[in-house]
A and B are shown apart, each in its own frame.
Chain A
Amino acid sequence: MGIIERISGPLVVADEMLGTKMYDVVRVGDSGLIGEIIQLRKERAVIQVYEDTTGLKPGEKVVSTDLPLSVELAPGLLGNIYDGIQRPLEVLESKSGSFIGKGLTADAIGRSKKWKFIPEKGIKNGSMVKDGEIIGHVQETEFLKHYIMVPVGMSGKISGLKEGTFKVDDKIATIEGKGKKHEITMLQRRSVRRSQPFKRKFRAAIPLITGQRVIDMLFPIAKGGTAAAPGPFGSGKTVIQHQLAKWSDADIIVYVGCGERGNEMTEVLTEFPELKDPKTGRPLIERTVLIANTSNMPVAAREASVYTGITIAEYFRDMGYSVAILADSTSRWAEAMREISARLEEMPGEEGYPAYLPKRLAEYYERSGTVESLAGKTGSVTIVGAVSPPGGDLSEPVSQGTLRVVKTFWALDASLANSRHFPSINWLTSYSLYLDDLEEWYNKTFGEEFVKNRREIMRILQKEAELKDIVQLVGAEALPDEERIVLEMGKMLREDFLRQSAFDEADAYTSMKKQAAMISTMLHFRKRAQDAVRSGVPLDGILSVKVREEIARMKEIKESDVEKSEHRIKGEIDSQFAALVKQYGEGERREAVAKE
């Protein structure tokens, strides 16, 4: 037991702490605030406290729990909302009301609820079980089997395993090995700051389908991959994160609201129980775990929130699920590190951030991946981080440290956002390094036209940007008609395909099938338009075809009508252009006749 010597903001220095270990969790002061040891100097420990330290006095006691900062993992995780150190916010509300009180503790997983546990076939009493092996499961939601795994470090002979209805901390088996006896419950604890072991990692091969056209079509992220979305305020980082949380085809979503707005978490909490998972038709909240440490909640817990989230994500990955973790915003996490570092009086690196910032960022993103878990299951963790660079300037340390490690970069653009072009992902500067890895999957799933079309629209968009530079100097009139068609196509792709409204029911999610149909139709239009130009139809004629408006409204088409509509609109394109060619062709002929 130690004694508080000094308090400065979230940092507390305590004496008489001999015997405590780095990163042990301690209870600080008479009100028992939760803290973590982050520095030891002989008997003296420096503690970062996860709660407001107002009112704390030197001389009060500090008690070590002897355990590292860890999370509780068991059936009952899904649908929960936690703070940065996994305290369930709903329970805190029942304890201290609408405003968060101090020194509160609560079990992360409810202890009273009983779950039906079914032992795994092939695991019998007397079987030898290894670290991480699955010994049974609980049907947590209609679609999710929550596997119970042997905690790492407890391999041996299993006994007392039985089917039945248990609370999460009831004994369900005993494992005896290496001369030790372990009681196994459905609940296990994992330390948050270290990544969990697995058998091996695979290369990315399958995209995470998000229903967001600019992402799926142009800058996809692989399951098990990493992406960053940096952008100034108002560029739609949060909306993109919310869209991914809602529509991506992961089995589990972990959403970390790290130092952001309280109302955004409220929005998720209000919407997710209402919205349906497009894959299962069940409420989205059933596949979601929320971590909310908003900007006005204690800064040290904000630092921890990202680790809490990723540890939960790894746990589900080990069961063989695809998990996506969305962290909004990693910049606030980095700032929390900076604040703690400054109070420790560490020598600052760039812009006051600690010198270990890039390492921490890399460590975090490296916890992504598709792996074969110790249980022998293939699961993935996909990490998407929002970054909030000051003034939107990407040369700052958090953006740079992130871009060095992530493989998909969605550049959010303030000028697009200002003209209400959302998602404001800039199609010229963004990139995805997964395209080659995913090509095989696209070819197998959609045929080779898909990748070809994708390259084609990228070419058009790039060409459009080049031509626009010229137009800025000489005006559009100076361009030949064929190039003006490119301008029109660029506009069509930007406004009718890349732009997507998160607030419109039909538009918020677009299936891959519909995306492919839209692109195919637009490219069909281009082909006919080019042909028409070559056969002498003036640009104004092409611009006046009625079918353009129908193409523009393809995003409103219901998913069930996609094939029919694509067929019909392509037919319209053919007939309207044919009519156009005929009209102008005849006109030319008449002129020719008149001349004679």
Chain B
Amino acid sequence: MKFEIEYSTIENVAGPLVVVGKVRNAQYNEIVRIKLHNGETRLGQVLDTSSTQAVVQVFGPTDGINVSSTSVSFLGETFNTGVSEDMLGRVFDGQGRPRDGGSSVSYEEKRDINGAPINPVSRRYPSDFIETGISAIDGLDTLVRGQKLPIFSSSGLPHNQLVAQITRQANVKNSSESFAVVFAGIGITYDDYSYFVSEFRKTGALKRAVAFINLADDPSIERIITPRLALSTAEFLAYEKGMHVLVILNDMTNYAEALRELSSAREEVPGRRGYPGYMYTDLASLYERAGIVAGRNGSITQLDVVTMPSDDVTHPIPDLTGYITEGQIFMSRDLVNKGLYPAIQPLGSLSRLMSNGIGAGKTREDHRGVSDQLYGLYAKAQDAKSLSAIVGAEALSDSDKRYLKFGDDFENKFLKQGFYERRSIEDTLEIGWDLLSEMPEGELTRLKKEFIAKYYKKKGTA
């Protein structure tokens, strides 16, 4: 048994922070238990320690804490969480306590929620194509196992549906390996939470899923740990149990706001828009936990939802996220207004790991060329569209008119897709070739001649 001293020396309480005086030798990042006079306990963590006092961040509300009768004990360990395979099918709260009314889980091991950085030489470069069944992703910005690919959305856009559809449909070709979903709801509404639970239940994904839910009215400081619990659980399932884990962090904007709240409580010098200067590093400590470790069977793929405040991609949250993640899926309000689900705007979307996951033997030999060519033509269609807005469609040259038509067809046939519609990669590439075959062959300079010869549908022959 460890010897625990209870300190009743709280000096001040402000926001989520408590300063405990006359403490000797509190560890940096040590976990503390705070006991209120009515017996209620809360957890906290040491943020700053010196030979005379410790600054503690409380996970949870600070109401009821007082200076005279609240006691604090230092637990001598950093924040660990229990993990086990039995967690599959269960729902926990933002601090990892069961919230589904089920029994408590017996844990197989304890893990530090902050994890440890993967040694870059121990990583295996992600190269397994994940078929999401969505053309805009598979065809243009392919998701690869071990990738971190956020969804840049905005309020009012159907990102929850998109996440649900990907979760339902995603699979790796020719693979029967075991998979799991770890879902972290960070400051989401009860509505969103129940949407996901019912979607997962409908498709049977719930049995293979672990959910950590911090609701919008739960303590915001808890949001700092919710994604870390999810990622530690995912690491256990991936690296100890050999599962391919899809981690969904929803919504990272709420996380970043909690980080800002904590930073301002600590009276730190604010960076852009009040977010702390270390936000890049902090976000990286979450996103970089995606990946594949050489010599282990599992993998962690991350889909992170980021809602862009006022649709602004240069806002610090999406901006810093984009600098860390391996691309982004960009959702567009314009496309939603046109009635286009899933509203993924390819211009603005990117998958950095695509090259290694596509091509002959993985998807198809012409995949890169088709994707580049569709991109190039769609970009030209946008130019033609803005030109026609000024000079009128009549004044456009023939080639601009062709681009314009291509743009419309591309949106309606390629980008547009049903919520329950699942397209194989071959279907997706076929649609791509249907569109490309409407263009003169000479326009297709981003495609190799041999692929044009093989796939281009000459008029009257297709």
Contacts and interface: CB of A to CB of B under 8 A. Distances in A.
Interface centre among A8, A257, A390 (most CB of B within 10 A): A390
Given A7-B48, A261-B326, A100 B368 contact: no
B452 to A, nearest CB: 11
Interface centre among A296, A391, A477 (most CB of B within 10 A): A296
A36 B454 CA distance: 62
A56 B46 CA distance: 11
A56 to B, nearest CB: 5
5 contacts: A5-B50, A96-B119, A266-B121, A335-B278, A420-B372
A6 B291 CA distance: 35
B375 interface: yes
A552 B280 contact: no
Contacts of B288: 261-262, 294-296
B323 A59 contact: no
Interface of A: 5-9, 13, 52-59, 81, 89-90, 92-93, 96-101, 232-234, 238, 257, 259, 261-263, 265-267, 269-270, 292, 294-297, 299, 332, 335, 338-339, 342, 348, 351-352, 388, 390-393, 417-421, 471-477, 495-496, 501, 503, 548-549, 552-553, 556
Given A262-B123, A420-B371, 6 more contacts: A55-B29, A263-B125, A339-B281, A471-B387, A476-B400, A549-B445
Interface of B: 24-30, 47-51, 78, 114-126, 146, 239, 268-272, 277-278, 280-281, 284-285, 287-289, 291, 293-296, 313-316, 319-320, 322-324, 326-328, 347-348, 350, 352-353, 355-356, 368, 371-372, 375-376, 378-380, 386-387, 390-391, 395-397, 400, 442, 445-446, 448-449
4 closest residue pairs by CB, A with B = A391-B314, A419-B379, A295-B284, A6-B50
B49 A234 contact: no
A390 B396 contact: no
B120 A390 contact: no
Contacts of B396: 475
B152 to A, nearest CB: 11
A99 B347 contact: no
A52 B29 CA distance: 10
A295 B284 CA distance: 6
A338 B400 CA distance: 49
A475 B395 contact: yes
Contacts of B30: 55
A98 B78 contact: no
Contact of B397 (A96, A297, A392, A477): A477
Contacts of A552: 445
Given A263-B326, A295-B281, A352-B269, A98 B295 contact: yes
A342 B281 contact: no
Given A59-B51, A90-B121, A548 B442 contact: yes
A370 to B, nearest CB: 32
Given A100-B119, A233-B323, A352-B269, A263 B353 contact: yes
Contact of B445 (A81, A342, A495): A495
A476 to B, nearest CB: 6
Interface centre among A101, A419, A421 (most CB of B within 10 A): A419
Given A393-B314, A420-B375, A299 B278 contact: yes
Nearest to A544: B442
A58 B24 contact: yes
Nearest to B146: A263
A53 B28 CA distance: 7
Given A263-B353, A418-B347, A89 B120 contact: yes
B51 A5 contact: yes
Contacts of B114: 54
Contact of A351 (B50, B125, B271): B271
B425 to A, nearest CB: 18
A93 B353 contact: no
Contact of B26 (A58, A391, A420): A58
A503 B120 CA distance: 23
A501 B347 CA distance: 18
Contacts of A391: 313-315, 319
Contacts, number: 220
Contact of B125 (A5, A81, A238, A267): A267
A419 B50 contact: no
B324 A93 contact: no
A55 B28 contact: yes
B267 to A, nearest CB: 10
A552 B117 CA distance: 46
A38 B51 CA distance: 21
B125 A270 contact: yes
Contacts of B272: 351, 390
Contacts of B29: 53-55
Nearest to A235: B350
Contacts of A90: 121
A55 B313 CA distance: 38
A348 B269 contact: yes
A7 B28 contact: yes
B49 A553 contact: no
A93 B122 contact: yes
Contact of B314 (A92, A390, A419): A390
Contacts of A553: 445, 449
A496 B120 contact: no
Contacts of A8: 28, 47-49
Contact of B277 (A7, A233, A335): A335
Given A263-B291, A296-B117, A390-B314, A352 B387 contact: no
Contact of B120 (A9, A57, A81, A342): A81
Given A93-B119, A352-B269, A58 B322 contact: no
A234 B328 contact: yes
A265 B285 CA distance: 17
Contact of A266 (B120, B268, B352, B442): B120
A299 B368 CA distance: 37
Interface centre among B122, B287, B322 (most CB of A within 10 A): B122
A18 B357 CA distance: 57
Contacts of B278: 299, 335, 339, 342
Contact of B379 (A299, A332, A418): A418
B224 to A, nearest CB: 15
Nearest to B368: A503
Contacts of B352: 238
A261 to B, nearest CB: 7
B268 A58 contact: no
A174 B270 CA distance: 56
A262 B291 contact: yes
Given A58-B51, A420-B375, A495-B445, A265 B355 contact: no
Contacts of A299: 278, 281
Interface centre among B320, B322, B352 (most CB of A within 10 A): B352
A472 B48 contact: no
A335 B347 contact: no
A392 B376 CA distance: 22
Given A266-B123, A477-B397, A496-B445, A6 B118 contact: no
A258 to B, nearest CB: 12
A475 B391 contact: yes
B387 A472 contact: yes
Contacts of B122: 93, 97-99
A186 to B, nearest CB: 25
B328 to A, nearest CB: 7
A582 to B, nearest CB: 23
A234 B322 contact: yes
Contact of A261 (B124, B271, B324): B324
B28 A475 contact: no
